[in-house]
Amino acid sequence: DGGITQSPKYLFRKEGQNVTLSCEQNLNHDAMYWYRQDPGQGLRLIYYSQIVNDFQKGDIAEGYSVSREKKESFPLTVTSAQKNPTAFYLCASKNYNNEQFFGPGTRLTVL
Amino acid sequence: SQELEQSPQSLIVQEGKNLTINCTSSKTLYGLYWYKQKYGEGLIFLMMLQKGGEEKSHEKITAKLDEKKQQSSLHITASQPSHAGIYLCGADLGAQKLVFGQGTRLTINP
């Protein structure tokens, strides 16, 4: 099956810990994105990558880090510097028609 | 995002009725995206509009982008329980990234 996968579906973190969220796509898309969604709000862009080995900060990058070593993978690390990390995290990729598709999401809860 | 206003924030309609959701920007839209989301799940791509005056349909859902490319509407005809969920519009404002509206929560009453 072609698509975007995110893991884990649910993640619990203790305060002070770093955690990494996985995002993989087999759609051969160059561009990939990470968004954060809070209850009752739209999506806010954390980081995006237009091509392998390159990425840019989005609107709320503080406390997060990413890497793009492979075209298929765009992992997001939520560091201890992120003060309010509890949220629903969504990964997306974009095709050559500029259509952006989303993964199923990871719900992160800080205990 | 305040760059993109979506209305209404919530909508309750009787099954079988028609409904419209609006998405408005103060800036020119290079692309307008409509998504549907079930609670706790990812976004399902519905349609993308890029040209002024463009209209697209998928089953009973129709989306239009106005001529000025600053407003889009999503219209559902003869609503069904399967249409319930959160509808989100996303806009490409020319910076290689999307900004999103706050979403419209749609409830369909039988």
Banded model confidence at residue A1, pLDDT cuts 50, 70, 90 = low
Dihedral sign for Cα atoms in the order B34, A95, A103, A52: negative
Q: Tell me the average pLDDT of chain B.
A: 92
User: β-pairing, A10-13 with A4-7?
Assistant: unpaired
**B96 pLDDT more than 80:** no
Q: pLDDT higher for B27 or A71?
A: A71
- For the segment B45-60, the average pLDDT, to the nearest whole number, is 93
CA distance to partner chain B, nearest, from residue A76 (Å): 17
Return the amino acid letter for A96. Y
How deeply is A80 buried, as exposed, middle or buried, from its count of CB atoms within 10 A (0-12, 13-18, 19+)?
Answer: middle
Backbone angles phi, psi at B83, to 5 degrees: -80, -10
Rounded to an integer, what distance in angstroms lies between the CA atom of residue A30 and that of residue A99?
Answer: 12
**B56 pLDDT more than 70:** yes
Inter-chain touch B97–A45, beta carbons under 8 Å: yes
**A46 pLDDT more than 70:** yes
Contacts of A34 in chain B (CB under 8 A): none
The reported pLDDT for the residue numbered A2 is 66
Q: pLDDT higher for A50 or A111?
A: A50
